[in-house]
Amino acid sequence: MHLPLDVLALALPSQAEVTAAAPEGLQLSVALIIGLPLLGFLLNGALALWRPAAKTAVSLIGPGVLLASFVIAALQFRDLSVLWGASPDTAPVVSLWSWLPVGDLKVDFAFQVDQLSMVMLLVVTGVGSLIHLFSVGYMREDEGYARYFAYLNLFVAFMLVLVLGASFPMMFIGWEGVGLCSYLLIGFWFTEKANADAGKKAFIVNRIGDFGFLIAMFLIWGAFGSLNFHEVFHRAPEVLPAGGPLVTAITLFLFLGCIGKSAQIPLYTWLPDAMAGPTPVSALIHAATMVTAGVYLVARANLLFALAPVSQTVVAGVGALTALFAATIGLRQYDIKKVLAYSTVSQLGYMFLGVGTGAITAGIFHLVTHAFFKALLFLGSGSVIYAMHHAYHATHSHEDAQDMRNMGGLFRYMPVTAVLMILATLAIAGIPPFAGFFSKDEILAFAFGRGEHQPIFRLFWAMGATAALLTAFYMARLIAMTFFGPNRTGEEERKHLHEAPLTMTGPLLLLGILTVAGGWLNLPEFAQSLGKPEQLHHWLEPVLAAGTRASEGLGMLATLPHGSTEETLIGLAVAIAVIGLLFGFVVTLRAPTVRAHDAPADVGLWNVLYRKYYVDELYDWLIVRPLVAFSRVVLWQSVDQGTIDGAGVNGAARFSSALGWLGSRLQSGQLTTYVTLFLAGVLYVLGMVSWR
């Protein structure tokens, strides 16, 4: 391992100018931020193998390493914001060692700490810490407690590599690593086949996206001869002609990677199944962090996307369609986690609508606020499931602890969880001044604004606005079915319902604060009275400047509508949210809900929604079955058994046995034959010698 002494190679301006300003301990900090969760993985993994009963040690190590990471990240944030205050363009690159020096390809094991990765770093370690703390309460009684925290720590380590990586291959390491941890944690309770299958599904569907990421990297390497972010983005405007086929291909293949990782149409099907994992996993990996990696990738490569307006339209269109499509499915799910899963798919669609529109700040802003309120919703549902599970466990009942038809009226039994989940619902529905209102409104406003240049964005805006209505509806339905109305858990079970312990409600409370206050990160201009506006936008400006310039050059820059249009849009957004919430609440409570056990099957459109438009069945018929049949008949029976086994393996064996048979004809056992041959040999050799 080669560890150069002058490790602080710095981006943008001249080397000498920046090295002076580079913070001293940055290399150590970055190594610690990533190394601590990795250490946690090793320690917890060792405990899982040899001391699975040492739960106290696991409870200390698991969340402890991450909290330490978060503290270091926060300190680094403080130091770097001072540095960037002086010269906002400097993004330190910390190179730990040379990783892939192959011919012209030189990839360092390097991390880039700029404004964008700093935002992601804080979200991952901050929200991650809270979810780790929650897990202490939630998973404590599980047999695989140490194994769980080992995986969770490993996930965070890879996620940090993903957001801090200074080149596409570094990011790809993290990208694949989080995919692996996602697979391990979805199938955490692997003794049930459905869970193991869900893990495999997530892994396989993501392979399709990873293929796109790889192709994009090859294309970038072909065009630039480098894969480092700094070099690629520095030279992109000269190397890639704006709107040309190459940049469009690169960005579309990159987006294919995002479609897989961030569960967009048509590859979203793995995410709802991923709810088979423990609920804190759903909160951390499948809502707050990993699935937003695609949004981060588009934001990171915003310059490339800005140079390819066609790709931007595709990104925004897929996002808007996913937002609407997933929201309709969410209307008719009964499993509380499934509703939240489709809601996540839908909200990820919003983020892509934002970054596709070119409103990178809005997309990242929604990513951050979504991390807060969706983590809160998932952990809240975890708290509910925990109570339900205990109630059913106490009476040895086998009812479904996640089915909302078995809940109802839980407000009385778990008020803290209920109040916090209602806050998060207001946030996701877009009620001011909660976090979700500002971020979602900004995305929709930018989409509307870009409609000036490209009318199709008006359609995307309309789809997003409709999805917002549906979002408010299904979230109100979730709250009404879970916390209000008569309780349907069961006479005996009701006595065992209770609020979760403090290790679980504590993180919920902190996330609740973030959910309420998250909007202050990037207040819009019109809300100046509440605080300093557009802070996140100014913070991210250095990272986004080149992309903004490129968009401006193409005449595609999305601007916020002003004046009466702006007021109308805001009024409409709030009206949509309020109407959706009230409608959802009233409709759900007025229609009688029966326990899952006795509920009649849905019919008509409701059944189509409940069956998720039969998309899984469609994929099964169109792709899985033909592929299995092709593999069986052609690949297995014809190619493998026929050609490889028949001609290759058995053929080689038959050939050598035939040769052996021929040779063995010489071994007659008759002494005379041997002597004759021997004599013939001697005569031959003598003849050869005397001939010369």
Partner 1 sequence: MLLGPSLLVSAILFVIGVAGVLLRRNAIVIYMCVELMLNAVNLSFVALSQVHGLSGQVFVFFVMTVAAAEAAVGLAIILTIFRHHKSVDLRNINLLRG
List residues bridging with 98 in a β-sheet: 108
Considering only residues 209 through 228, tell me which ones interact with partner 1, judged by CB under 8 A.
none
What is the C-alpha to C-alpha distance for residues 35 and 442, in angstroms, rounded to an integer? 37
Considering only residues 437 through 456, tell me which ones interact with partner 1, judged by CB under 8 A.
none
**Which of 49, 659 has the CB closer to partner 1?**
659
Q: Find the shortest distance in angstroms from Cβ 671 to partner 1.
A: 5
Q: Which of 607, 631, 641, 676 binds partner 1 (CB under 8 A)?
A: 676
**Which of 603, 671 has the CB closer to partner 1?**
671
Strand ranges across the sheet with 8-10: 8-10, 92-102, 105-112
Q: Find the shortest distance in angstroms from Cβ 679 to partner 1.
A: 7
**Which of 502, 679 has the CB closer to partner 1?**
679
**Which of 664, 690 has the CB closer to partner 1?**
664
CB atoms within 10 A of CB 88: 17
Q: Which of 81, 535, 559, 668 binds partner 1 (CB under 8 A)?
A: 668
| Size (the chain), residues | 692
* DSSP element (H, E) containing 201: helix 193-224
Using CA atoms, how far residue 503 sits from 57, 81, 387, 423, 430, in Å, is: 16, 33, 14, 20, 29
**Which of 105, 682 has the CB closer to partner 1?**
682
Q: Does 690 bind partner 1 (CB under 8 A)?
A: no
**How far from chain centre, in Å, is Cα 269?**
13
Q: Judge whether 258 and 297 are in contact, CB under 8 Å.
A: yes
Piece of the chain touching partner 1 by CB under 8 A; list 261-269, 281-289, 580-588, 673-681:
673-681
Q: Does 679 bind partner 1 (CB under 8 A)?
A: yes
Q: Find the shortest distance in angstroms from Cβ 654 to partner 1.
A: 18
**Which of 1, 671 has the CB closer to partner 1?**
671
Cβ-based neighbours of 372, under 8 Å, separated by 6 or more? 127, 427, 435, 511, 514, 515, 518
Q: Does 396 bind partner 1 (CB under 8 A)?
A: no
DSSP string, 220-260: HHHHHS--BHHHHHHHHHHHS-TT-HHHHHHHHHHHHHHHH
Q: Find the shortest distance in angstroms from Cβ 653 to partner 1.
A: 19
Site string for partner 1, 80-99 (x = CB under 8 A): --------------------
**Which of 15, 676 has the CB closer to partner 1?**
676
**Which of 582, 675 has the CB closer to partner 1?**
675
Using CA atoms, how far residue 361 sits from 234, 295, 540, 543, 673, in Å, is: 20, 11, 7, 10, 92
Q: b/e string for 578-595 if b means 16 or more Cβ within 10 A?
A: eebbeebbeebbeeebeb
Cβ-based neighbours of 377, under 8 Å, separated by 6 or more? 287, 340, 343, 421, 424, 425, 428
Q: Find the shortest distance in angstroms from Cβ 677 to partner 1.
A: 11
**Which of 575, 682 has the CB closer to partner 1?**
682
Using CA atoms, how far residue 143 sits from 139, 187, 606, in Å, is: 9, 15, 39
Q: Find the shortest distance in angstroms from Cβ 675 to partner 1.
A: 6
Piece of the chain touching partner 1 by CB under 8 A; list 51-59, 205-213, 363-371, 672-680:
672-680
Tokens representing 66 are: 């991450």
Q: Judge whether 443 and 359 are in contact, CB under 8 Å.
A: yes
**Which of 191, 690 has the CB closer to partner 1?**
690
What is the C-alpha to C-alpha distance for residues 657 and 660, in angstroms, rounded to an integer? 5
Q: Judge whether 183 and 155 are in contact, CB under 8 Å.
A: no
Q: For 53-83, what is the HEC assignment? A: CCHHHHHHHHHHHHHHHHHHHHHHHHHHHHH
Q: Which of 60, 605, 675, 685 binds partner 1 (CB under 8 A)?
A: 675
Q: Find the shortest distance in angstroms from Cβ 45 to partner 1.
A: 58
Q: Judge whether 10 and 90 are in contact, CB under 8 Å.
A: yes
Q: Find the shortest distance in angstroms from Cβ 681 to partner 1.
A: 14
**Which of 590, 665 has the CB closer to partner 1?**
665
Q: Find the shortest distance in angstroms from Cβ 669 to partner 1.
A: 3
Piece of the chain touching partner 1 by CB under 8 A; list 11-19, 464-472, 601-609, 674-682:
674-682
Largest CA distance in the chain: 115
Q: Find the shortest distance in angstroms from Cβ 668 to partner 1.
A: 6
**Which of 529, 670 has the CB closer to partner 1?**
670
Considering only residues 169 through 208, tell me which ones interact with partner 1, judged by CB under 8 A.
none
Instruction: Return the axis-axis angle of helices 293-300 and 360-394, rounded to nearest 10°.
Output: 170
What is the C-alpha to C-alpha distance for residues 446 and 557, in angstroms, rounded to an integer? 10
Piece of the chain touching partner 1 by CB under 8 A; list 23-31, 133-141, 612-620, 675-683:
675-683
Q: Which of 558, 504, 540 is nearest to 385 (CA)?
A: 504
Q: Does 671 bind partner 1 (CB under 8 A)?
A: yes
Q: Find the shortest distance in angstroms from Cβ 682 to partner 1.
A: 10
Binding-site size for partner 1 (CB under 8 A) equals 13
Considering only residues 608 through 667, tell me which ones interact with partner 1, judged by CB under 8 A.
663-667
Q: Does 669 bind partner 1 (CB under 8 A)?
A: yes
**Which of 587, 679 has the CB closer to partner 1?**
679
Q: Which of 191, 529, 564, 670 binds partner 1 (CB under 8 A)?
A: 670
Residues of this chain that bind partner 1 (CB under 8 A): 663-672, 675-676, 679
